[in-house]
Copies of this chain bind each other. A is one copy, B any other.
């Protein structure tokens, strides 16, 4: 295994094996007919030299790129790695490689990342959310490649959207809580004006409550820090400020779990005195003293479905898909919600 400064090329393998570059290329890609004898020679030479093909050149020549751009807001919220897992599981043996870009929930950064990604001419784009700048929408629409917007379906997809309706999810939870007879309800969430999905859940929630003649009794938003710890603190704060609360809806399970731990320690009867619910259906909840009521956001399924669409499109341009693929999450009442 000689170590030279210049990376090996097809030509090196060609010379080492006494076969034309073209035939070497055919062997290495399993394309076209090659005699068993030449195939062996080529494979041997290639392995001996330690040749690694140059996909840059290959992609340029063939106008085919086995990359899928995946654009998500963050890596710190476990939701996105989980979606990614769904994507990689499907793409794994398909020959397509996901490439991840992070936007930090910032539209301008989304634009930059998208531009960067599209300049690699990927076989498809999977992008979180349906809210994008005009610029981003134009780039995506003009790219001529399949685009799957994921997680949320409340909006006009550019191409295809796969996800749940967060507005409906919030509404559904609001209705369930109202139906269970709760009247003094608080909402605790993240201070993220740019997290459209959390915003929509909140909107759907208040809307459902309004329809039942209920107004949010208290609310609080946090940013930064450990979600579990914040959930504790905020729960303590609102319960002291508004002692007659009988339900708290959390915008995510982590703060909900923190709230649950606080309530149990403080000796509250859950859900007798106060009901609690979160959002996401994270695995973590399984190990809590009581199982927190939640709602599955279908994270892995969304990733898997999106990947399947890109895969189908990359193999067969014409595969038809609905504009919106809407998954419907179910409330899992756990042990922190009264039965209606």
Q: Which residue numbers of A lie inside 8 Å of B, CB to CB?
A: 1, 3-5, 7, 50, 52-57, 59-60, 65, 75-76, 78, 80-82, 84-85, 88, 97-102, 115-116, 118-121, 138-139, 141-144, 225-232, 254, 257-258, 261, 265, 283-289
Contacts and interface: CB of A to CB of B under 8 A. Distances in A.
A120 B229 contact: no
A66 B24 CA distance: 28
A118 B52 contact: yes
A99 B101 contact: no
Given A52-B118, A56-B59, A121-B56, A287 B231 contact: yes
A229 B60 contact: no
Given A5-B144, A120-B55, A141-B3, A98 B97 contact: no
Contacts of A115: 52
Number of copies: 2
A228 B288 CA distance: 8
A176 to B, nearest CB: 24
Contacts of A143: 7, 52
Contacts of A139: 50, 52
Contacts of A226: 283-287
A150 to B, nearest CB: 16
Contacts of A144: 3-5, 7
A109 to B, nearest CB: 9
Given A56-B60, A80-B81, A227-B283, 15 more contacts: A3-B142, A7-B144, A53-B119, A56-B56, A56-B120, A56-B121, A78-B81, A81-B81, A97-B101, A100-B100, A226-B285, A228-B283, A228-B284, A230-B287, A257-B287
A282 B150 CA distance: 28
B287 A55 contact: no
B286 A229 contact: yes
B60 A88 contact: no
A339 to B, nearest CB: 24
Contacts of A231: 287
B88 A229 contact: no
Nearest to A6: B144
A54 B59 CA distance: 11
29 contacts: A1-B141, A3-B141, A3-B144, A7-B121, A50-B139, A52-B118, A54-B121, A55-B119, A55-B120, A56-B56, A56-B120, A56-B121, A57-B60, A75-B81, A75-B82, A76-B81, A76-B82, A76-B85, A78-B78, A78-B81, A80-B81, A88-B102, A98-B100, A99-B99, A225-B286, A226-B285, A227-B287, A229-B286, A261-B288
